[in-house]
Amino acid sequence: MSLAELPPQFFLRSAAFYDLHAISTLRQVCKNWKNHLDEPFCHLIVKKISPHLAESHVPIDSSLTWRNVVDRLLASRKNLFWKPVEKSVELPEGDGATDMPIIEQPVRETSYNLPKGFAWTKLDMNTAAHVDELFEFLDANNTEDPDHVFREHHTKEFLKWTLVGSDDAKDTFPGFEPVYVAVEVETTHKLVAFIAAVPMVLRVYNKVVPLYHVKLLGVHQKLRGKKLAKVIVKELVRRLSLNSKLAQQGLFVLGVNKPDFFRVCESKMYGLIFDFPKMAEIGFCNPRGSPPVAKPEPIVKVTGLRPLTEADLPQCYTFVTNYLARFAVAPALSFGEFRHHFAAREKLLSTYVVEDPATKQITDLFSFYSTPKRVLSHPRFKTINSVFIQYFIALKTPVNALLESLLTIAKRQGEDLVVFVDIM
């Protein structure tokens, strides 16, 4: 397939878009596909490259369309913003990277400059004082709902569990270490911004891809809107580039649809409420709506359901990895990483399995972890106890029966809410 046969959307996701030859090809592509282009996509092309037109000294005005943007780019030979790409581009056979190879650029050796009065600082999640400091910062500046009713509340145990990770990735890929970027006030040494990247290994078809899971971006409430988040993200990328040449990819979760990124999955998040009067009084849900209240007891009892034990780990590891092998994109878990993400942790992580009484083989599994939320302004209720379903594998037991059992266990633990996504 030649470049001219590709749909125009390809160029918005490819480094080849910024190559002069590819721009020329794009003009031909737009002609070939002119009957298939809708207005939103035309505006997307303009929005994508218009910020660079001033750098290239291309005159712009409000009447620009996708077609004359391309024409004006071709007319301009002052290619100040072109990203360098390989001169000859061959499309990969079968599965492979979606982007064309980009010539490596030298990585900045020094940290980015911060506004006066702020400084970069180091955090070590194996040091109790640093964990306490991060806990206090996030507890006051974590993600809130749009109406400022509640705020995410990460316990210290959760922070150590999610930010330290397993040692297996570090052993497999030397230099593959967690990276923490933090900003403090120079005079008081109080934390005002934080972001982390934790190593993980993903399997894409038959290829093992080491990458970083970016998580827990937080900026002090009084500093939001001052582009501090953009600076710490750039600093994180810089440090990751210096830290390891192995991982060239990052994985993160967004609450909005961003067409510029490769999406591993796109899903909706749901919540099932146990105590509807409490949640309605807090303002978590609409008191006039139909309450999606979970039933207190399962209709169908699941035979063989019990908590995961240490002796189950080897068999359960094989069970989970065989299940994940069904998918084109899935975590490539080592045994150590499996233990880290599935072994029970008091008041944090729970895993249950269904064992066949006759064969003693594990046939089903689910796990969930605690994600409490702090209620910001209510005279009686201070906390929403909630759990997030991490894995749910129902191969032999009916899905409804297994899910009802999970809800019963969560209810008995005193949870107010169960949160899950529609892909697990």
**Topology at the third CATH level for domain 118-251:** Aminopeptidase (3.40.630)
Instruction: Flag residues of the chain having pLDDT under 70.
Output: 1-105, 167-175, 243-248, 254-267, 286-300, 423-424
Note the pLDDT of residue 75: 53
Superfamily for the 269-421 domain: Gcn5-related N-acetyltransferase (GNAT) (3.40.630.30)
Give the predicted TM-score (pTM) of the model.
0.72
pLDDT at 294: 52
Q: What is the pLDDT of residue 78?
A: 39
Amino acid (one-letter) located at 62:
S
Domain with CATH 3.40.630.30 in the chain: 118-251, 269-421
pLDDT at residue number 422: 72
The pLDDT of residue 19: 40
Beta strands in 206-327 (DSSP E): 207-219, 250-251, 269-273, 305-307
**For residue 252, what pLDDT is reported?**
73
Q: With beta carbons less than 8 A apart as the criterion, state whether 346 and 121 touch.
A: no
- 3 state SS of 314: helix
What local confidence, expressed as pLDDT, does residue 82 receive?
37
pLDDT of residue 24: 47
What is the amino acid identity at position 177?
E
Instruction: Give me the long-range contacts of 41-48 (CB less than 8 A, separation at least 24).
Output: 41/8, 41/9, 42/66, 44/12, 44/259, 45/8, 45/12, 45/69, 45/70, 48/12
Note the Cα 193 to chain centre separation in Å.
Answer: 18
pLDDT of residue 348: 93
